[in-house]
Structure 1
């Protein structure tokens, strides 16, 4: 679990139009170079955009930050080297050059970016089921355990029944706030 706390999100600058290719390259290089324990996820933040033209409504995904890719990783010399030398990556945002390590995104920044893209900050199993026991890991009820009473996969929310002062209470939580037992 100590490794979990070292995981941070970094922003990569890429050639414009190559964001998805860079994402694929990072994922395949992490696997082929045995870096799965240091390089976890690469994402290209996108938002759904609806446009009406000539009476026709068209919905498409637009890149939130063209020319940039987010990568979740444990920063080390090896992981920095693998990511930095991925084809299409021009550099880390927040790095001062000359091999200096970049500054990670702040947790609030990560939450906002991922939430707007409909993604979760934590990479976890999303197959929760009614009746399953979970531990709450964030928020006001952190440390409590409860039973899942409702699952909303579309909005990544759960209703969890917890014991508060001898009474069963239902609360709604984001997937990010719980871990399976």
Structure 2
């Protein structure tokens, strides 16, 4: 498998897990089928759209390649129909969200670097790719976006993006190293949730 095929599969996997995350959040809010699919679509493709606009790829891949929209719709609709079998819905949402964060951060950073964005800018684009869908999902379901709270979320994405940029600069950005970078983001996010790690907050005025 070459790097291009691996990135496509990772991108579609990220779409599927973020769509499932968005769909699960929408089901928890008791939205109808259209609402579940719409929230899943935004959660899955919002970050990628932001990434593509940042790097000048127009139209964004979410609109140019039918596989992205179909994957998002199918994954979120599946959650709508199968949610009675999903135990502990909140935990499911958090795990899926962590997986999507890792996958989208990696693919977003690589695509930005391939588009000629300098490493620092590519890391920011990769972070935005990872967090954009989650922000859209939270806003649509009436929640304060996770990225604005104390939880380690955007920081995990940024660290993963930096790891990807370093791998690319060193010329060792094969499928396995990039998978390890995604696992770093996922692992950091899940450990932070389990151990209740958080970023510092400002004290009272």
| Same fold? TM cut 0.5 | no
> TM-score normalized by structure 1?
0.30
* Structure with larger Rg: 1
Q: Which has the higher contact order (CA 8 A, sep 6+)?
A: 2
